[in-house]
Structure 1
């Protein structure tokens, strides 16, 4: 889809051109009607001029009305820097490597926007933990699957909370002195909630790693070890048999005296 803001201004320009064009035509037809109409009254040919003037005037009024209605609406917001055309972004994200690059770009942009705030440290920890969990998600089968869904919901909530912390911190810079104490208390509460949430998320990732480790560990040895041992024994047996066969072929034949 096209940029909504650009589409809004294109439609505005189109309505303005149409309103002006029909206004000029209505004025021209009205003038022609006033000049060409005989004093005795309208004849059949003059009725055409009058109809054209009336129709043009109605269309001009209609276009001006649409223009006023559209101008009264607020224009859509501009695309954020780096967001790009939504259609182009959707096409790029169909390619796995490009999707990873776009996601990394968004993470870096969000991290840069939080630079210097109290949310920057927890955001970085959350980034590391979420990337770790993404590497474990493919092995969290069975009882571990609901944990992946819960982690995704919690991550979105924590990122929103980090944005709130940074926004309140920016507002503190312009807050009058008499209103600062209350806003500072609210900021500390949000920052504490963010720290506690990231701590819980990191504990979830540690639990997921323990689950993956225990799920892949058997009581004795890994099945792959047993299969490799059997294959090694088989190869050694085949090699020994070939060696015996080659030795039997190279031994000299002894004839009796």
Structure 2
């Protein structure tokens, strides 16, 4: 949402410009009407001049009235600089995300920021493993079709849950550093349980990625060789035969060898 105070001032400037413009126009048309109206009476063209002058004067009065009414209202409060900065960043991010390369760059920036936030905690190692496994699965996702589609959806949901669990582990670990001595043991036990859950979940995710890679590998094994190899071999033999034939045509025949 735009700054209300800036919008208020823009409206005031527009009304002031409009009021001045209609005032100048009304004065110009009024003066022209007074000069051009003949003493013998008004004709049809003079009536048009007079109507235009009167309409411009009325519009000028309305614009000045609107300007006074708007200026009499209290100014809206100024926007919070923090909120303004957030809106500016949101607009910048939206603009960058419209570019295909920008989406990848923003995703990498967010990933690095999350990794830095978890640095020094027990969640940093599993998070790095999860990043590597997720990148591998992203490279395989385009080939995981047919019966493998549900596995890709399950992996997406599991990755989101594991990342949330990693942030929870880091938060509990930071709280453990400042916890009183009488409650530290219970919190430490809960932290160990969360770390075990995170490590086990990342391990399961890595096994899923390994199984996905095996599926892609087996799905591509149509026989002893890839289906594209045979057409390439035929094309190679054809071109080689054509080249040999052209070479024979360009070689001059030996006249002595040609005699019986």
Shorter-chain TM-score tier: 0.5 to 0.7
The residue matched to 1:223 in structure 2 has which SS? coil
Residue in 1 that maps onto 2:16:
none
Q: How does 1:1-257 map to 2 (within 5 A)?
A: 85-247=89-251, 250-252=253-255
Q: Scaled by the length of structure 2, what TM-score is found?
A: 0.65
Q: Scaled by the length of structure 1, what TM-score is found?
A: 0.66
The residue matched to 1:162 in structure 2 has which SS? helix
Partners in 2 of 1:218 and 1:201 — Cα distance?
28
Partners in 2 of 1:183 and 1:191 — Cα distance?
12
Gaps of 5+ in 2: 9-71
Distance 1:78 1:129, change over 3 A: farther
Partners in 2 of 1:194 and 1:245 — Cα distance?
73
Spell out, residue by residue over 1:168-220, the C-alpha distance to the aligned partner (whole angstroms, 9 max, x if none): 11111221111111111111111111000000010011011111111111222
The residue matched to 1:85 in structure 2 has which SS? helix
Partners in 2 of 1:208 and 1:84 — Cα distance?
41
RMSD over aligned Cα, in angstroms? Answer: 3.2
Distance 1:250 1:126, change over 3 A: same
Gaps of 5+ in 1: 15-58, 68-74
Residue in 2 that maps onto 1:35:
none
The residue matched to 1:160 in structure 2 has which SS? helix
Distance 1:206 1:224, change over 3 A: same
Runs of 4+ deviating beyond 3 Å: 77-81, 249-256
Residue in 2 that maps onto 1:32:
none
